[in-house]
A and B are shown apart, each in its own frame.
Chain A
Amino acid sequence: MKWKRVVISALSAAMLVSARSVEDSTANQPEGVSLPPVHRETLPNGIRFFHVRDDLPQLTLVVSIGMGKLYETGDDAGISELIAKAITIGGSARYPGNSLHDAIEAMGGRLSIVSSWETTTITVKVLDRFKNEAFAIAADLLAHPIFSPPSLDNARSIVADAIARKADDPAEIAFERARAIIFEGVGYGSVPTPAIIRTLPVQRIQDYWTRRAVGGNLMVGVSSSIDAEEATRLCRAHFGLIPQGSEAQYAADISRPRSAVARSRGKIFFYPKEIPQATVVVGTAAPAIGGEGEQALEIMNYLLGGGSFSSRLVSEIRVKRGLAYTVQSILRLRRGIGVFLAFAQTENRSAGEVLDLLLGGVEGMPRAKVSASEVAWARNAISNSFIFRFDKPSRILLNEMERAYYRLPEDYFISYRTRLARVTPDDVLRESGRLFSDGLVAVVVGSRAVEEQMKKRGEVVVIH
Chain B
Amino acid sequence: MKRKTAAAVFLVLFSIIGSRHTAWAGIADAGGYLLNNVVSKRLPNGITVLLLNRGYAPVLSFQISFRVGSVDEDVRTIGAAHMLEHMLFKGTDRIGTKDFKAERPLQARIEVIGETIDRLKLLNPKNERIPVLEKELRVLQEQQSHLIEGSPYDRLYSEEGGVGFNASTSKDMTGYYVSLPASKLAMWAEIESERLRNPVFREYYQERNNVLQERLMRYDAVGSGILYERFLATAFIAHPYRHPIIGWRSNIPFLSVEEVKRFYYEYYIPSRMTIVIVGRQNTDETFRVLERYFGTLPARPEPAPIAIQEPQRPGERRIEVLFEAGPELIVGWNKPAFPSRDDCVLDVAGEILAGGKASRLYRSLVVEKQIATSVSVWSATPGSRYDNCFALFVKPRPPHTPEDCEAAIDKEMDRFFEDVSDDEIRNIAIAMESEMVFGLESNTGIARLLSHYQTVHGDWRYAARYPSLIRTVTRDEIRSLKDKYFRPDNRTVALLRDSRAMEKKR
The interface residues of chain B lying within 8 Å CB-to-CB of A308 are 151, 154, 158, 165
The interface residues of chain B lying within 8 Å CB-to-CB of A102 are 358
* A127 within 8 Å of B (CB atoms): yes
Q: How many Cβ-Cβ contacts under 8 Å join chain A to chain B?
A: 279
The interface residues of chain B lying within 8 Å CB-to-CB of A7 are 435, 438-439, 445, 448-449
B398 pairs with A275, CB closer than 8 A: no
B205 pairs with A127, CB closer than 8 A: no
A253 to chain B, nearest CB (A): 35
* B319 within 8 Å of A (CB atoms): no
* B272 within 8 Å of A (CB atoms): no
**CB within 8 A of B347: which of A2, A125, A326, A394?**
A2
**CB within 8 A of A168: which of B9, B207, B324?**
B324
The 8 A CB mask of B87-110 against A (1 = contact, 0 = none) is 001000000000000000000000
* B416 within 8 Å of A (CB atoms): no
B221 pairs with A387, CB closer than 8 A: no
The 8 A CB mask of B147-180 against A (1 = contact, 0 = none) is 0001100110011111101000000000000010
The 8 A CB mask of A351-390 against B (1 = contact, 0 = none) is 0000000000000000000000000110111011111101
The interface residues of chain B lying within 8 Å CB-to-CB of A277 are 213, 216-217, 220-221
The interface residues of chain B lying within 8 Å CB-to-CB of A315 are 150-151
B59 pairs with A391, CB closer than 8 A: yes
**CB within 8 A of B373: which of A106, A125, A162, A169?**
A162
**CB within 8 A of A30: which of B14, B155, B162, B428?**
B14
**CB within 8 A of B158: which of A33, A165, A274, A310?**
A310
* B266 within 8 Å of A (CB atoms): no
The interface residues of chain A lying within 8 Å CB-to-CB of B443 are 391
* B210 within 8 Å of A (CB atoms): yes
Interchain CA distance A388-B161 in the complex, whole Å:
9
The interface residues of chain A lying within 8 Å CB-to-CB of B15 are 32
Mostly, the B contact residues are helix
Interchain CA distance A23-B131 in the complex, whole Å:
73
Interchain CA distance A36-B24 in the complex, whole Å:
8
* B431 within 8 Å of A (CB atoms): yes
B17 pairs with A33, CB closer than 8 A: yes
* B27 within 8 Å of A (CB atoms): yes
For B432, the closest partner residue in chain A by CB is: A3
B214 pairs with A98, CB closer than 8 A: no
A322 pairs with B209, CB closer than 8 A: yes
A369 to chain B, nearest CB (A): 18
- For the complex of A and B, list the 3 residue pairs with the smallest distance between their C-beta atoms, beginning with the closest: A384-B161, A7-B439, A322-B206
17 A–B contacts, CB within 8 A, in A order: A3-B432, A3-B466, A4-B355, A32-B18, A33-B17, A55-B24, A56-B30, A98-B363, A104-B358, A105-B431, A108-B427, A109-B434, A127-B434, A308-B154, A318-B210, A386-B161, A387-B181
Give A residues with C-beta under 8 Å from B. Answer: 1-10, 30-36, 53-58, 88-89, 97-98, 101-102, 104-111, 125-127, 154, 157-158, 161-162, 164-165, 168-170, 225, 273-277, 307-310, 314-315, 318-326, 345-347, 376-377, 379-381, 383-388, 390-392, 394, 417, 421
